[in-house]
Amino acid sequence: MTPFTPKRILVLGGTFLLGPAFVESAIADGHTVTLFGRGVTNPGRFPYLEHLRGFRSGDPKDNDLSALERRSFDVVVDMGRPADHPSIASAAAEMLKDRVHHYLYVSSIAAYDSKEYERAGIEEDASLEPWDGSAGLYKRVKAESERRLGAILGEKLTVVRPGPIKGRFDPSSDLLAWLVRAQHGGRHIAPGEGHDSVEIVDVMDVARFLVLAIDRPLYGTFNLTGRPMSFREFLDACKEVTRSTADFVWIPQDFLRDQGLETDDALGLSPGYFPFWRPAGAAPGLYQISSEKAYRAGWQTRPFWETALDCLTFCRTPGNLEWSDYLSVAKEKQVLEAWDQRRR
């Protein structure tokens, strides 16, 4: 076993979602952490750590990295926020490349070329979205940031590509929607036939992989999506963790469309009505991305029930999330009744 060596870690953005999970994991592992950011998002978090103030911008005139000019670190972890231009990532890397031994960048499965989602089992060597392509800005920025960091840092670089990150600190309502529907009991719409895949990853698992990559160390690129499950398995798990007797009624995609429950993004996903559901024919490989490389490297992932309970705990803590279900009770009842009528 390789002896443990504490590292001096600089975190670029560390007070939102994955950032706090990583900082806590790194500190628990014995590392020293310094945070760099604007001091705007959750400014009171981690008062016992060193905070360096600055501003990262896609406009070089607005970029302020002066607090890093004479500093050196063993490791830099760029949490990938904000992501409105690839120069945000590359400017920091250019400044620090000769004063750091290991550089980690949090990208996303969104970096893959949209054509890659037509097949299951995407691995890390799949093509990335072109910078001059027609895809959304987020996809293009993530892919181009990876390319620029690779050119600047070479073998010092580790890139992680998580799927949807859930659990503690997650202010989104997608997983929460299904858990709350299950908790409420009664009848609810289950979209499709239950065969579509779902992949989510726990925020603590992503954080711990980053620490693993620092400790080993691990270089290169790693998908972090967890293991896929069918949508039927996903809803069954939501019921199990909430001790629910809810009845999820499977309704075909064409009927849902006829009832006005359309998908609402370019990949065919429906984050409002039916979060995580990927209708048949819409990017079939999106939630079947392979993370086997990370597992072979020693990554371990938490059971779904831990992620679900962390989600419920965080989202139901006063002040963390104000939310109402995008699919109203009245609309869901109307569609269920129409489906019952059709089946008679």
- The domain segmentation of the chain, as residue ranges, is 8-167+201-224, 174-199+229-288+304-336
pLDDT of res. 324:
86
Percent of the chain beyond pLDDT 70? 96
The residue with tokens 């990532």 is 89
* Bridge partner list, 160: 106, 222
Q: Rg of the chain over CA atoms, in angstroms? A: 21
User: What is the total residue count of the chain?
Assistant: 344
CA pair distance 72, 66, nearest whole angstrom: 13
pLDDT over 60 (residue 336): yes
| CA–centroid distance for 113 within its chain | 17
pLDDT of res. 280:
67
- pLDDT tens, residue by residue, 166-196: 999 888 889 999 999 999 999 999 999 999 8
146 in helix, strand or coil?
helix
pLDDT of res. 264:
53
Task: Indicate the DSSP class of residue 30.
Answer: T
Q: In angstroms, what CA-CA distances link 239 with 12, 48, 112, 183, 242? A: 38, 40, 33, 7, 5
Average pLDDT, the chain: 92
- pLDDT tens, residue by residue, 249-264: 999 988 998 998 866 5
pLDDT of res. 44:
81
Stretch 277-300: mean pLDDT, rounded? Answer: 89
Instruction: Decide if 12 contacts 36 (C-beta within 8 A).
Output: yes
CATH number of 8-167+201-224: 3.40.50.720
CA pair distance 277, 256, nearest whole angstrom: 13
* DSSP H stretches of helix in the chain: 18-28, 87-96, 137-153, 174-184, 203-215, 231-241, 253-258, 292-296, 304-315, 329-343
Q: Nearest Cα to 241, choosing from 185, 176, 306, 292?
A: 306
Q: Which has more pLDDT, 260 or 154?
A: 154
Please give the model's pTM, rounded to 2 decimal places. Answer: 0.94
Instruction: Decide if 112 contacts 126 (C-beta within 8 A).
Output: yes
pLDDT of res. 267:
47
Q: pLDDT band for position 279 (50/70/90)?
A: confident
315 in helix, strand or coil?
helix
- pLDDT tens, residue by residue, 195-223: 989 999 999 999 999 999 999 999 999 99
Q: Which fold has domain 174-199+229-288+304-336?
A: UDP-galactose 4-epimerase; domain 1 (3.90.25)
Within the chain, how many helices (H) and strands (E) appear?
Answer: 10, 13
pLDDT of res. 117:
92
Percent of the chain beyond pLDDT 90? 76
Of 228-232, 291-295, 320-324, least confident by mean pLDDT is 320-324
Instruction: Decide if 268 contacts 281 (C-beta within 8 A).
Output: yes
pLDDT over 50 (residue 266): no
CB atoms under 10 Å from CB of 13, counted, come to: 21
Instruction: Decide if 124 contacts 293 (C-beta within 8 A).
Output: yes
Compute the C-alpha angle 326/331/336, nearest 5°: 120
| CA–centroid distance for 32 within its chain | 25
CA pair distance 190, 300, nearest whole angstrom: 30
pLDDT of res. 263:
62
Maximum pairwise Cα distance, the chain: 74
